[in-house]
Amino acid sequence: VALYKSVPTRLLSRAWGRLNQVELPTWLRKPVYSLYIWTFGVNMKEAAVEDLHHYRNLSEFFRRKLKPQARPVCCLHSVISPSDGKILNFGQVKNCEVEQVKGVTYSLESFLGPRICTEELHFTQAPPGNSFQQQLVTKQGNELYHCVIYLAPGDYHCFHSPTDWRVSHRRHFPGSLMSVNPGVARWIKELFCHNERVVLTGDWKHGFFSLTAVGATNVGSIRIYFDQDLHTNSPRYSKGSYNDFSFISNNNKEGIPMRKGEHLGEFNLGSTIVLIFEAPKDFKFHLKAGQKIRFGEALGSL
């Protein structure tokens, strides 16, 4: 593990990112993309543009858009999957720890960082709890839930809003870019806390809601469409540092309203989405660990 952590994954990811942006000759595009499609099982029939010659470089191909009808958004359930991927874990948050894969946990506070000033959030402040987890729960009788979705290299790389909510704050943690493949996640404790990530926090009708995009090897680029100030995988950073940005201002008291299914951001290869949110005790997930899921399908509801 120590040897793997010493690999310069950020530098390698930046080099890979630049290689991805090199324009390929037209004659080379089809064989290169066809090899990728075969290796990772990409379904190009779902792509908005099926013609491989259309994609000038690997980066454009990774970030391909889908046909509108390819991912219908479930209207019956309150929380949908924000992306294509594989369900690694889900359930109630217990003892201020969250499972990244079965049996391997990470600290909730290390992952999200210190609690954000409640003045930025639209819900009423709960009495101070004994733990970080209790402080996030703003309404009596509610629980804190989590869901981890792993995006493989062959998956659709855009992610969307999982519910109707308001984004009030962004916290960017520069960090390592180790692989988040489930096999690696099993032997590196707190992997998600080591890796670069972008934490979006705000509120939905039941209280606290957050979506975190976790970077990985060759995924130095995490893009949030409404956040032009966000720049990930910069050459210099201090270990354990983070920077905050508030979407609440004198001109904008509401933050960024997001509708369920609305485009939110994209990765440049494949990575992980972690949802941590507050909901009443009768919230139920409609999932099985290890199952494949597609953007728009139900995660859970009341």
Q: Are 280 and 58 in contact (CB under 8 A)?
A: no
Q: How many CA atoms does the CB half-sphere of 41 hold within 13 Å? A: 4
**In 3-state terms, what secondary structure has residue 100?**
strand
Q: Return the bridge partners of 176, or none.
A: 195
Which pair of structure tokens corresponds to residue 192? 């998600």
Whole-angstrom Cα distance, residue 134 to residue 136? 5
Taking the alpha carbons of 285, 150, 165, 200 in that order, is the dihedral positive or negative?
Answer: positive
Burial class (CB in 10 A: 0-12, 13-18, 19+), 250: exposed
Which residues have a catalytic role annotated?
Answer: 84, 160, 271
